[in-house]
Amino acid sequence: MNKIFNKLITVLGLGLVLSACHQKEIVNVSKALVLTANGITSDTLSGTIKGTLLSGKTYYFKSNITVNDGDTLLLQNGVHLIALGDGITAATSPEIFVHGTFISLGTQDKPNFITVKNADDLHAQAAQQNYTNVFFGWWGGITCTPATPSDKNPAPTGGDAIIKWTHIEFGGAPSGADDDQAIYKSGTSRFNLYFGNKTKNLIIEDSWFYGAKDDNIQVGGGHISVMRNTFELCGGVGGEFLNIKTGTLGDIAYNFCIGSATNSFKISDSGTSGIQCTATVYNNTIIDGGYRQTKSGRGGSIDFEKGAKGRAYNNLIVNCRFGLRITPDADYANVAYGNQYFYGYSQAIVDQFYSADGAPSVLAAKASTDIISTTPKQNDPMFYGFDVNQFDFTANPGPISASLQPYKIVTVGTSNFKLLGSSQGLNKGKADFTPQMSVTATGTFGTTITLPGKDIGAYQNDGTGNLH
């Protein structure tokens, strides 16, 4: 490792331990100069790698690549990292194993792409072929965990994952012998991203996730900040956009979510880390979720279960099969909630604004600060460019196959999800609470936390919040 790269790691280490004041909003979060350390010039990656993927270049990998404990792989802006997989077997569907630190620093003007070959064609075909290609699962995704201890490295620590202004798409190929059976049972679908390290940080900001076969992101422990992202059309017959488990602490805010198979956000303390899963979920916009989940009574928007606790405020939940779900086995006495804005096309949706299998005390104490109704089609949120009544959810209450969902209602397309000036969601947000800020660093390698907003949902009327 050369001196420049050591300097980069020193800067990174300092950035992740020093805390600073959190800005309310920042438009371009990744403009700082990033030193080029061990620049990778070959366009073909394989085996063990470390260093820098250079701005504007395209790289390919056909077999698994690994970032070792103590090493860093950094993507400068404008990088395209292409997985050459067929989605049939683990051996022919490569995965990125990260035992060190993974950093993708796209920018608003030059985002990064971690995807498959001809991804644009897959998007186009998906609209024409009932999503067959979207949920196929073409490659193995990114898996971030400490390495297995060995004689040479008896106490691996793992590293952080920092993802900004990056598209990650089409994960889900079957797992194989190289995968940890505690994460993926043999042959099960892999995720777009897995992170599991309760002592390290997962920062995902201003990025896009699309087309995972099952869960899009699963977190098996860590300090997280998931801010201002777009989650779109993931999960064939099941799977969450973001599924966090025991040992996970942090904030989930200003994300736009459309077309999940199950929940957008599942918060569960399942596991044995000794650190209670705790999440603050605020100012998200969640649309048309939960209809492809084939298991009864599951999924739609925000789910606290199995001993998890946290807070849920200012979320706009529109035409989701189930609304806020706080189950009797959650730590429901320590789940604070309010200022949700619910909209439902059908009576079945309206009846589940608070999931009917929720904790009795929660169901009996629906928040008085909510915008809620008992009648279908009341309280239209009034999006600038999206018709919430374009699909007949009465005729299609779920579960339904993807082929029954018009492509335009489960993808962003050309729609605009900002609120019109006459929307009831304006000035109805709860702003007098502080996010968890479990990840405390700011700057190029840290997180930029957008504080709770006065308007409900991911898009604030003053132009802040989600920037997509």
* Tens digit of pLDDT at every position of the chain (468 positions): 443 344 444 434 433 433 333 334 433 333 334 556 789 999 999 999 999 999 999 999 999 999 999 999 999 999 999 999 999 999 999 999 999 999 999 999 999 999 999 888 877 776 555 566 789 999 999 999 999 999 989 999 999 999 999 999 999 999 999 999 999 999 999 999 999 999 999 999 999 999 999 999 999 999 999 999 999 999 999 999 999 999 999 999 999 999 999 999 999 999 888 999 999 999 999 999 999 999 887 888 999 999 999 999 999 999 999 999 999 999 999 999 999 999 999 999 999 999 999 999 999 999 999 999 999 999 999 999 999 999 999 999 999 988 888 989 999 999 999 999 999 999 999 999 999 999 987 778 999 999 999 999 999 999 999 999
In a domain, 73, yes or no: yes
- Which residue range forms the structural domain that includes residue 205? 3-419
pLDDT given at position 119:
84
Is 441 domain-assigned?
no
Q: Please check whether residue 337 lies inside any domain of the structure.
A: yes
* Residue 437 domain flag: no
b/e map of 18-36 (b: 16 or more CB within 10 Å)? eeeebeebbeebbeeebeb
Examine residue 449 and state whether it is found in any structural domain, yes or no. no
Contact 290, 314 (CB under 8 A): no
The Cα 414–Cα 335 span in angstroms is 36
Q: Residue 362 domain-assigned?
A: yes
Check residue 272 and give its pLDDT.
Answer: 87
Percent of the chain with pLDDT over 90: 82
* Strand bridging mode 142-144 / 193-195: parallel
> Does residue 300 form part of some domain?
yes
Q: Give the total number of structural domains in the chain.
A: 1
H/E stretch holding 282: strand 278-282
- Which residue has tokens 């303390």? 269
Structure token digits, residue 54: 């250079």
Could you tell me which residues come within 8 angstroms of residue 411 by beta carbon, excluding any fewer than 6 positions away? 232, 233, 258, 259
Kindly give, in sequence order, each residue whose CB lies less than 8 Å from that of residue 390, ignoring residues fewer than 6 positions away: 406, 408, 409
Residues 6+ apart with CB under 8 A from 33: none
> What are the b/e assignments for 256-266, b being 16+ CB within 10 Å?
bbbbbbbbbbb
3-state secondary structure 13-45: HHHHHCCCCCCCCCCCCCCCCCCCCCEECCCEE
User: What confidence score (pLDDT) does residue 4 get?
Assistant: 38
Q: What is the spatial distance between Cα 454 and Cα 343, in angstroms, rounded to a whole number?
A: 19
Does residue 229 lie within any of the structural domains?
yes
